[in-house]
Amino acid sequence: MNTFNELDLLKELGNIGAGNAATALSQLLNKEITMNVPLAKIVSFNEMMELMGGSDRPVAAVFLRMEGELSGSLFFVLSLEDATKLINQLIPEKEISVDELPSHELGLSALQELGNIISAHYLTALSECIGLTVTPSVPEVTIDMVGAIVVTGLLEISQVSDHSIFIDTELTETTDSQVEKAKGHFFLIPYPDSFEKIVAALGEG
């Protein structure tokens, strides 16, 4: 993998999912939301940890499992600052600070729903691209160190795989007075047979 053509297709796949997710969020929030994917590539689990900011960095993460003809796990990871920024865009009447985030149930629920919407659109784009069904589980949201999040999420799959599809994601909210940006990282971790199906489909694209 990681040839120019395959990475270009992977990035295009990410942009399709991002565009659909942005439309859904714009309708939900009645705001102008855009999303784009500046980078997409295949990385090892060690590289994945580094891209998240290192094992000791505290982050917000939405985690879900993929089921169906494609199986594996998916993480949507944000810095605490960007997670708080997005939550405050979702529920501006209940503005919170970064320090309040770990114990703020309403904020975490909003973040979970945001991750659910974006993940669903990414997985739909992937499913349509390769012609295989994939169903997301109910997402879980957590605030913890990168190392703890990754170990928990990869406990089973790390025994048989070391590949993650990394999709860099930028979200922009535009209003009459300002432009707010936030950045998140998607890590799609398929089981080996599912990874081979994705690579084969991209190779044919």
Q: List pLDDT tens digits, range 67-91.
A: 999 999 999 999 999 999 989 888 8
Which tokens is 188 given? Answer: 């799609």
Residues 26/118, Cβ–Cβ less than 8 Å: no
Query: In the prediction, which pLDDT does 58 show?
Result: 96
**How far, in Å, CA of 187 to CA of 165, rounded?**
6
Provide the Cα torsion 126, 185, 120, 36; round to 10°.
-70
What homologous superfamily is domain 4-204 in, according to CATH? CheC-like (3.40.1550.10)
Q: Which of 61, 132, 67, 137 is nearest to 101 (CA)?
A: 61
**How far, in Å, CA of 140 to CA of 111, rounded?**
10
Which tokens is 85 given? Answer: 């920024």
Q: In this model, does residue 168 exceed pLDDT 70?
A: yes
Task: Report helix, strand or coil for 131.
Answer: coil
Exposed/middle/buried for 54, CB within 10 Å: 0-12, 13-18, 19+? exposed
**How far, in Å, CA of 91 to CA of 86, rounded?**
9
Lowest mean pLDDT of 95-104, 184-193, 195-204, name the range.
195-204
Q: Where are the domains of the chain?
A: 4-204
For 122-152, how does the pLDDT look when each residue is reduced to its tens digit (9 = 90+)? Answer: 999 888 888 889 999 999 999 999 999 888 7
Query: In the prediction, which pLDDT does 137 show?
Result: 94
Residues composing the chain: 205
- Whole-model pTM? 0.87
Query: In the prediction, which pLDDT does 78 show?
Result: 94
